[in-house]
């Protein structure tokens, strides 16, 4: 059987079945980052994520600086999703020997600028030659107080479901670059593409938001949206043993993304529901904790939105469409091993006008 | 300018020039692992290293289990080189979607067996699709007591130079597989290839030796030999601000490697001096510390050999050939970005008979 026939998540389960652990592993494979017990009141967080040219970034769309930014950002996002403070990163570079050094200058410049912004030190790495595509594989390390770590596993029925920032811009931009003749977009949509493009190439890791949310004591579960809202909500519900109801009309999709999606003949809410690469934080709060969570995010300059609630596991994943009807929501996230025709391969029509 | 024109080490210097750090980074880029200060009496060690199909392993020579073993072993070796105890690892897998799942079953089986042997927990990772070669990029984390950490920087003139294990077998085996019709080797050399092959595909990280050496308090500098003895000795001397004299006749090259090298028309001592992939520990002791170091390695079932001494920096890197003459030794290690015709590209003739 080939990897693409099995799929990413069944493969991970297969390769790690019965995996030996150690007593000092507070949290192993299966969350945004591992949490490791060093015996003090802090847990060490560790995560790694790779960016492959042609799969995760397109040099025709992103500048070298933006490629470096994103490679680090997606890792800081995983530390943020645990409520943690990122501290250090290791950069493994797989590069073709005939690559122009100036291109890497730009990549490292973008990576270093983001590291500086979050006071992260690049402390190690590796350079290997590859005939294949340029690949940046980064490991981020951070820490979180033992009593503040947020995992995917704590949501309970009645909890409210929230998300930081805006959804769908990154994939809408990518659709414009890959599916359409983006040079021919009408002026308003072209301006919207400029805005959506920034979300695609320079995602902002929600590090401050994640730490602020962890400090409220009201958040019950959290993860970042890298595989799409529906897919990552599925991960959260599976780990927590709950269901969820998403209010479609509540999804935070900004005007530029709506404008661009409509110019492309796409449903912006469908994209927001199913597409990946948003790197926002999806989290649940105790029923009485919504105000504290919204205020905590606002206090660090961010924004969060209530988009639904946690239900019992028997109710499954559901979405309430704008016509009031509840539909089953397939927890279909991004699978890195399966073939896709586009990043938002056939997003479902969920009843948007 | 292309990467291969600049070379690996100048590229690292260029990309990390003026790099920002943090007060809790005890040791950043430039040693076998980063050492990070968590405020307790232990330092956290972190290192990453990638294995690329066709560059670091050949599926025609190594089994999937051996490929997995080596991918983890080279990282545990870096933790060992700091005198550390490996604890956890993250595995980033870059795989073509049409790869056979059974191949990865074998890779993970080999990796997990080695992890079990050293009580290392696999705590995280990532799977990405790549059109390029299969790549295993592993980050290993470990710890070492603050007052026992061994770096490349502590050697002083008069210190003795030692190495664990045997040298040259891995590259001699690779030369047999790539340069010669290894099916046509005479019987004795074919048997020797079987032995040398094991050194190539299943290097044994010297974790116990590294910790035992750190505990003696007599070791002044240490690193592992991944780029070749001459190259890595060059790294040690550069960091320590010293020179070194290597006794060619003292290099520990086992009988099988000599037999195989001679059947290939190669100088086994030249290979031992310049070739990489040995993953032995190269270290220096105070002049009076040799016995303690040898005994410490023996006590954990290993072997170490005195191969020379540390000199002042003005003397540079030198090797005393078997005819008694001293020759300048070029600190030419393996450069992952430059083209090589073979792994031991034109090893120098250093006067072996």
How does DSSP assign B13-76, residue by residue?
HHHHTT----TTEEE-BTBSSEEEE-SSSEEEEEEEEEEEBTTTB-TTTS-HHHHHHHHHHHHH
Tell me whether the CATH fold assigned to A3-145 matches the one assigned to A160-328: no
Q: From the list B3, B94, B124, which residue is nearest A50 (CB)?
A: B94
Query: CA-CA distances (angstroms) from residue B63 to A22, B171, B225?
Result: 28, 17, 23
ipTM reported for the complex, 2 dp:
0.93
Query: What average pLDDT does range A225-239 have in this prediction?
Result: 95
Put simply, the answer to whether B90 touches A47 (Cβ < 8 Å) is yes
Beta strands in chain A (DSSP E): 25-27, 34-37, 42-52, 85-95, 121-129, 135-145, 160-164, 219-224, 243-247, 281-285, 304-311, 317-320, 326-328
| Mean pLDDT (chain B, rounded) | 92
From the list A290, A329, A296, the residue with the least C-alpha distance to A158 is A290
Judge: B139–A135 Cβ closer than 8 Å, yes or no. no
CB pairs under 8 A between A and B: 264
User: Chain A partners of B74 at a C-beta cutoff of 8 Å?
Assistant: none
In chain A, residues with a C-beta closer than 8 Å to the C-beta of B96 are: 3
pLDDT of A100 above 90: yes
Write down the domain spans for chain B. Answer: 3-145, 160-328
CA atoms of B185 and B168, how far apart (whole Å): 19
Strand order in the sheet with A326-328: A219-224, A281-285, A160-164, A304-311, A243-247, A317-320, A326-328
Per-residue pLDDT band for B243 (boundaries 50, 70, 90) equals very high
List of chain A residues whose C-beta atoms are within 8 Å of the C-beta of residue B132: 52, 130-133, 135
Measure the CA–CA gap between B126 and B146, rounded to whole angstroms: 31
- In the predicted structure, residue A62 carries a pLDDT above the cut 70: yes
Q: Which of B8, B12, B36 sits opposite A123 (nearest CB)?
A: B36
Read off the pLDDT band of A38 (50, 70, 90).
Answer: confident
pLDDT tens digits, one per residue of B145-186? 999 999 999 999 999 999 999 999 999 999 999 876 777 899
Mean pLDDT of chain A: 92
A190 and A274 Cβ atoms separated by less than 8 Å: no
In this prediction, residues B268-284 reach a mean pLDDT of 93
Contact list in A for residue B338 (CB cut-off 8 A) is 97
Contact indicator for B105, B233 with CB cutoff of 8 Å:
no
CB-based contact B20 A121, cutoff 8 Å: yes
From the list B123, B128, B139, which residue is nearest A28 (CB)? B123
**Mean per-residue pLDDT for B298-310?**
98
CA proximity to A172, closest of A347, A332, A348, A350: A347
A97 and B46 within 8 Å at the Cβ level: the answer is no
* CATH number of this structure's domain A160-328, picked from the four choices 2.60.40.10, 3.50.50.60, 3.90.650.10, 2.160.10.10: 3.90.650.10
CATH architecture assigned to B3-145: 2-Layer Sandwich (3.30)
B90-132 confidence digits (pLDDT tens)? 999 999 999 999 999 999 999 999 999 999 999 999 999 999 8
Q: Are the beta carbons of A36 and B141 separated by less than 8 Å?
A: yes
Asked if B128 lies within 8 A of A33 by C-beta distance, the reply is no
8 Å CB contact between A254 and A172: no
Shortest distance between the Cα of B45 and any Cα of chain A, in A, equals: 10
d(C-alpha B233, C-alpha B183), whole Å? 35
**Is this prediction's pTM over 0.90?**
yes
Question: What's the CA gap between A121 and A136, in Å, rounded?
Answer: 17
**Is it the case that residue A349 has pLDDT exceeding 60?**
no
């Amino acid at each position: 059987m080939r990897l693409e026939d099995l799929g990413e998540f069944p493969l991970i389960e297969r390769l790690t079945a019965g995996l030996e652990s150690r007593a000092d592993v507070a949290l192993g494979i299966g969350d945004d980052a591992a949490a490791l017990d060093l015996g003090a009141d802090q847990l060490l967080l560790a995560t790694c994520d790779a960016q492959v040219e042609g799969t995760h970034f397109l040099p025709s769309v992103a500048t070298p600086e933006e490629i470096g930014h994103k490679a680090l950002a997606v890792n800081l996002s995983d530390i943020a999703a645990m409520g943690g403070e990122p501290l250090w990163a290791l950069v493994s570079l797989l590069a073709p020997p005939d690559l122009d050094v100036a291109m890497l200058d730009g990549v490292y410049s973008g990576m270093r600028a983001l590291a500086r912004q979050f006071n992260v030190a690049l402390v190690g790495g590796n350079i290997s030659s590859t005939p294949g595509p340029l690949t940046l594989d980064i490991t981020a390390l951070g820490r979180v107080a033992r009593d503040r770590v947020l995992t995917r596993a704590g949501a309970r029925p009645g909890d409210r479901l929230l998300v930081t920032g805006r959804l769908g811009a990154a994939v809408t931009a990518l659709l414009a670059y890959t599916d359409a003749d983006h040079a021919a977009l009408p002026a308003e949509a072209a301006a919207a593409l400029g805005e959506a493009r920034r979300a695609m190439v320079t995602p902002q890791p929600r590090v401050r938001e994640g730490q602020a949310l962890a400090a409220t004591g009201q958040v019950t579960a959290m993860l970042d949206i890298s595989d799409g809202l529906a897919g990552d909500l599925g991960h959260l519900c599976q780990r927590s043993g709950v269901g969820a109801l998403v209010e479609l009309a509540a999804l935070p999709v900004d005007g530029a993304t709506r404008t661009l999606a409509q110019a492309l003949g796409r449903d912006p809410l469908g994209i927001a529901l199913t597409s990946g690469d948003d790197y926002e934080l999806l989290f649940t709060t105790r029923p009485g904790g919504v105000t504290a969570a919204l205020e905590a995010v606002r206090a660090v300059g961010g924004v969060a939105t209530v988009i639904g609630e946690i239900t019992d596991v028997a109710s499954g994943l559901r979405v309430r469409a704008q016509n009031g009807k509840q539909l089953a929501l397939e927890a279909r996230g991004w699978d890195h091993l399966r073939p896709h025709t586009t990043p938002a391969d056939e997003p479902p029509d969920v009843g948007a006008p």
